[in-house]
Structure 1
Amino acid sequence: MTMRLSLSAYKQVQPRVSFQGELSMKPFFRRKDKVVFVLGPTGTGKSRLAIDLATHFPAEVVNCDKMQVYKGLDIVTNKVTEEECRGVPHHLLGIADPDADFTSEDFRHHASLVVESIVTRDRLPIIAGGSNSYVEALANDDPEFRLRYDCCFLWVDVSLPLLHSFVSDRVDRMVRAGLIDEVRNVFDPTKVDDYSQGIKRAIGVPELDQFLRNELTVDAKTSRELRDKAVEKIKENTCMLARRQLQKIQRLHSIWNWKMHRIDATPVFLASGKEADNLWDQIVAGPSTLIVNQFLCDENHVSPVAPSEPVNMVPISVPAMAAVGTR
């Protein structure tokens, strides 16, 4: 059984104050709180890795997938189930109204509150998801966040051709799990839907429009053709999303010079069953755990703060989050 230390065990750095006859007013250094980001294209196992890490460290997961932040359509948006969460608290998962426009600025605001709440309780925030615009808004565009937190970026990568094959198979599994019925339950054939905002932007919703709009007015053969065409379009758009996400991660890495730890999970996707699980532990979860452990123990990342000009953090209450696994 693995013993999980309190995060405070990693926080042993004391403020450096110089006493030379009187208190020096030169800036001293304050230890930053730690935040871990798990990045990667869709289908690479970001949620799995985040949960693996959170079962090893005293941690909680913060969702940064722009579709999973909405309530409903759990199959379409591929939300983690209660069983998959393994008791790990999840935040910003299924909290927004389905018709709302939850922007990057909204994410930055809510994620900042959640991260502060987590570190206040002496736990490690692990921010995981594929919406890199959300990550950028928080980790790069928010100067207060950069001042307060030291970040570790884990990038789960998989060979794109192999990933495309995997996400196509995953779409088939989602269809068997009830994806089409889930979309049908929120579809109104008498209205022209707006697929430009809210959860209806999710891949799997607009692609089914023509099938659902015509399934009761065409013959069985045509209905099957429309259905199959929609499923193929879902696969195509999911593969395109994976490519865009990978390009965005590479751009963030090059432009902002973020120090990312690239974890190549390709061998896992070439295997199956128990062999794949063992490989995941050996080349993904295991190395990532070592990286995070070193990150938490690293004392080189400190933030200069002048005693005469403290950073004022206004206490704020965190709104209640939706329960994990509720549908």
Structure 2
Amino acid sequence: MKQKVIAIVGPTAVGKTKLSIEIAKRFNGEIISGDSMQVYSGMDIGTAKIKQEDTQGIPHHMIDIKEPDESFSVADFQYYVQKYFDEISARNHIPIIVGGSGLYIQAVLNDYHFADEKRDDAITKKLELELEQYGIEPLYRRLKEVDPTQANKIHPNNFRRVIRALEVYEKTSLTMTEYHMQQKTESPYESLLIGLEMERSLLYDRINRRIDIMIQEGLLEEVKLLIKKGYENSQSMKAIGYKELVPYFAGESSLEESIELLKRNSRRYAKRQYTWFKNKMNVNWYNLTPLTISEKFDEILVDLAGFIEVK
């Protein structure tokens, strides 16, 4: 019998955290953060981590397990989360993964085999030297020649993904597209995906208000401290919520410009999240409004009861 797993997905600020607490209380669950940035300690406000006083005693996992200058990949995420699935299920509790990082959640539920392809430092360094000497364009052109499908998914400025795709090809003679096609199509888990959505103007208003609250709660001080600790150029600081504010502290933009950019990038990210989950995963969607949230949550709990109780 497959392990049962609940996943709560949807865009930022839609209400996933609140729902996860209600589900965990009702069905004896434990919560796993599906946000790829909440793994970093000291990055609390900008990643919208749940406050300890709001957990209502429900165990939360995948939070504060890395320092901001440590690397963390989708393969790492998969390893840790699947380990938590086993541990939580062994306690006869229900694992509830909550978040908006679509690729990460998909990799866990579909058991992608990232570990089979280790990094090849020699190839990576060679490609990085080419990048330094000639820029990204020749590398991107090469990727378009060998794997146009993957090239179309990668922005030319995302040199890390361009290099990774070429590295896989040079090492294995398989394109990244061919590699992905070899992945399992049947999940090893019996999962139910709950998706929360909201009319766009309502959601965007919630996103804007959430960012205003983050500023009030000390997001600027959080970013300033991370810069002071030497994390400014770390990969973690490229995340939305942090990268927009670094130029302010460098004197390159005004605070108003940085906050407006943060709001814009957050709204655009929400749109991309919708697109990912609707196109790539089998999600049961529930449309929320400020007046119907409680009613919809009750409906979701009823729907989940059948999933949990069926043996």
Common fold by TM > 0.5: yes
Amino acid aligned to 2:274: L
Q: Secondary structure at the match of 1:150?
A: strand
Pick the aligned partner of 1:183 from 219, 223, 227.
223
Higher helix share: 2
Indicate whether 1:294 and 2:306 are aligned: yes
2:293 corresponds to: 280
**1:64 Cα offset (Å):** 0.8
CA contact (8 A) 1:139 1:146 kept: no
**1:204 Cα offset (Å):** 2.1
**1:211 Cα offset (Å):** 1.6
**1:298 Cα offset (Å):** 2.8
CA contact (8 A) 2:8 2:97 kept: yes
Q: Which residues of 2 match residues 150-165 of structure 1 at below 5 A?
A: 150-165=190-205
Show structure 1 runs of 4+ deviating over 4 A: 143-148
Give structure 2 stretches of 5+ with no counterpart: 113-182
CA contact (8 A) 2:42 2:222 kept: no
Amino acid aligned to 2:220: I
Pick the aligned partner of 2:61 from 77, 80, 91.
91
Q: Secondary structure at the match of 2:245?
A: helix
Q: How many residue pairs align between the two structures? A: 241
Amino acid aligned to 1:53: I
Amino acid aligned to 2:258: A
Compare CA radii of gyration and give the structure with the larger one.
1
Indicate whether 1:262 and 2:262 are aligned: no
CA contact (8 A) 1:138 1:145 kept: no
Amino acid aligned to 2:53: E
Amino acid aligned to 1:296: I
CA contact (8 A) 1:183 1:205 kept: yes
Q: Which residues of 2 match residues 216-231 of structure 1 at below 5 A?
A: 226-231=254-259
Q: Secondary structure at the match of 1:119?
A: helix
CA contact (8 A) 1:47 1:80 kept: yes
Amino acid aligned to 2:16: K
CA contact (8 A) 2:110 2:187 kept: no
1:247 corresponds to: 275
Alpha-carbon distance between aligned partners in 1 of 2:186 and 2:32, rounded to the nearest angstrom: 17
Pick the aligned partner of 1:135 from 90, 102, 105.
105
Indicate whether 1:174 and 2:214 are aligned: yes
Alpha-carbon distance between aligned partners in 1 of 2:44 and 2:80, rounded to the nearest angstrom: 21
Pick the aligned partner of 2:261 from 227, 233, 238.
233
Alpha-carbon distance between aligned partners in 2 of 1:204 and 1:124, rounded to the nearest angstrom: 31
Give structure 1 stretches of 5+ with no counterpart: 1-30, 216-224, 272-278, 300-327
CA contact (8 A) 1:58 1:123 kept: yes
**1:201 Cα offset (Å):** 2.1
Alpha-carbon distance between aligned partners in 1 of 2:38 and 2:185, rounded to the nearest angstrom: 23
Alpha-carbon distance between aligned partners in 2 of 1:56 and 1:33, rounded to the nearest angstrom: 18
2:22 corresponds to: 52
CA contact (8 A) 1:37 1:128 kept: yes
Amino acid aligned to 2:59: P
**1:49 Cα offset (Å):** 0.7
**1:148 Cα offset (Å):** 4.2
1:149 corresponds to: 189
* Alignment RMSD (CA, Å): 2.1
TM-score (norm 2): 0.73
CA contact (8 A) 2:207 2:267 kept: yes
CA contact (8 A) 1:139 1:145 kept: no
Indicate whether 1:66 and 2:103 are aligned: no
**1:71 Cα offset (Å):** 1.0
Alpha-carbon distance between aligned partners in 2 of 1:141 and 1:59, rounded to the nearest angstrom: 22
Indicate whether 1:122 and 2:150 are aligned: no
Q: Secondary structure at the match of 1:288?
A: helix
**1:261 Cα offset (Å):** 1.4
TM-score (norm 1): 0.69
Alpha-carbon distance between aligned partners in 1 of 2:67 and 2:74, rounded to the nearest angstrom: 15
Amino acid aligned to 1:213: A
Pick the aligned partner of 1:207 from 236, 244, 258.
244
